[in-house]
Each structure stands twice: as structure tokens, then as C-alpha cells.
Amino acid sequence: MTTTLPRLSAATAERLLQSSVVAPRSRWAVLKASGPTVRDYLQGQVTQDLEKLTPGQGIHACLLTPQGKAASELYILEGNRDELILLTPGSHAVATVSRLRQFALGHEIRIGVVDDLAICSIQGANAAATINDFDLPEPENGWLACSRKSSEDTFALVMPESPRGFWIISSREKIDKALGSYEPVNEDEFEAMRIIRGFPDFGTEWDESMHPLNANLIEFNGVSFEKGCYVGQEVTARMNWRGGIKKKLYRVSIDGRPDSFPCPIQSTVKIGELKSAAIDHENCCFGIALLPIEVAEAGAPLSLENDVTVTILEACHA
């Protein structure tokens, strides 16, 4: 029996073109890390260079195990003085806090989940005007460009779930007010947009079993090969410089419906997996698949086990 897939409705697609749509992003949690040495400490823990972090530019990064496997995915923003805002999947928030506390010996830092901060996503042609309701200026066009109110923990962050949109990080009170003012759509529709766009999430399309470079960490500007040492750096550098990246996540179209997830993808034999799929407003099916780079570049015909054709569109990227 074919599994139920998230779907983008025709009505929501029309609103995306004409105005904007809003939904909570409840599967993500907000953390705060603060202290006089918090930047120095995180510089030795995450894959991206914190020197790239500015008031107008967030960074994407991963927290790794010493073996180079992902422990969590992070988006990091500047907060107030000696304070950073970290976004991480809610399913890994407690473990992320525990890991960062565990290795903080010698550093004066405080880190924890901030329950009174929440995230919503605003997408569509009029998304920039919508963030004015939070008294926020529109961020620049760059990946993870951000704006903020200087006196409050309210941020806008450019996130490519659709061609132009933002994540808002603010108090739950303000998020709830915005959701009430803009007739929020079902969060499953935002999941559909994310998948159709080819934007993978940690805990869904990839997890602790994969190395982040196989999950397109380079394409999402989540790793620096020039910064100093960090946990898991040796494995990460070796994979990059010695050709260890054999598979990547790809945005694909599917001429039919998958039966389950993860769903094997085959050529003459099984060579990859379809990790997720969603239906767009024209009833077309798109997905995110883990596939060998060599097979993707060769253009070999691919299908699911139920003989549905799979076509590679592009590698997932920001």
C-alpha cells in the first residue's frame, strides 16, 4: 500500500504566488549559549568557522562525534553580548545541550533550551512585507542572512524552503499572534515545500549514521576546511581531500508514488535510497534521495522497487 505523502495544496500554492503563508516549525528548538569564552569553545566543537558569524550573517554547522559522525545540525546566530542563538532539531536538543556541556571544562559558558522562544516560517511573494509585523528589516539575499531587533530576541533568517522566505525566531507570544493573524497553513504543507525544494533536514533525510559530507554539508556551506581543529575534523578533512565523498543527497522527481521510506532505488541492483517525498500542487511527486555520485553523473536509468521511474534533478544545495 502506498504511504501517505505530505502535499502542497493548490490553494496554498496560489497564496505563495500572490501573498504569503505562515506555519510553525515546531520540530526545531531554540538554544542559547553564553559566556565570555563561548565563541572560542564552539569554534573547537562545530564544523563551520565562527569568524564568519556577524550580526547580519548566521552560519550553518554540524556538531560531530570524534569519529566524524553527526551528533546534531545547527544554525547559529549572534544574540546579545557574549550570547549566541542556536537552532537544532527538537529531537536532538537535549542531547546537544548535554554534549556541549560535557566538553566545556575550562570554559565559562551557559547553554540550555529556551522554551519561551519559538520558530515560524513565512514563505511567498509577500514574505518580506510580512516580517514587518515583527518590526524586523528584510535580511540580505545571502544564504542564512539575518536581521534582528537590537533590544529583543527576535530574528529573521533567510531559509530556502521556497524560492524566497524566512524563519522568524521570537517569543512564543509573538509567534502565536502572527500565526493567528495570517491564517496559518498546516505544517505538513511546509514539509512538502521543503522536500519539493530539495532542502534536507537532520533527523529526516539524514541522521547519525551518515557523515555530514554525504549529506551535502559542503553544498549548504556548513563546513570550513581552513579553520583550526574541531571535534571530528580529521575524518571530515580526510573524506574531502582523499575522495571519500561517494554519495550525496539529490533532489529527484518520481513518476508515481513510493510504497514506504526509506525506499530502495535501483539501476540493475540497489544503489541508493529515497529518503522522503512530497506531492506538489500539480500532483507531481518530488523527493530527496541518497545516491552514488558516480551513478548520478553517469545518468543511468533509476527506479523504485515498484518500477516507478526516478529522475535526478540536481544535488541538494542552499
**Residue range 10-53, pLDDT digits in tens:** 999 999 999 999 999 999 999 999 999 999 999 999 999 999 99
Whether the CB-CB separation of 198 and 14 falls below 8 Å is answered with: no
Sign of CA dihedral 144, 30, 287, 295: positive
Q: What is the pLDDT, as a whole number, of residue 282?
A: 97
d(CA 315, CA 296): 9
Check if the beta carbon of residue 64 is closer than 8 Å to that of residue 231: yes
pLDDT at position 2 is: 59
All cell numbers assigned to 138: 528584510
Q: Which residue ranges in the chain fall short of pLDDT 70?
A: 1-2, 163
Helix (H) or strand (E) holding 33: strand 28-34
CA–CA distance, 104 with 48 (Å, rounded to integer): 18
Domains of the chain plus CATH, in order, are: 10-186 (3.30.1360.120), 212-315 (2.40.30.160)
Indicate the pTM of the whole model: 0.95
Q: Which residue has the cell 502565536?
A: 176
Contacts of 280 (CB under 8 A, 6+ apart): 7, 8, 13, 192, 196, 286
Strand order through the sheet with 155-158: 21-24, 117-123, 165-171, 155-158, 146-148
Task: Outline where DSSP puts E strands in 35-154.
Answer: 59-64, 70-78, 83-89, 110-113, 117-123, 146-148
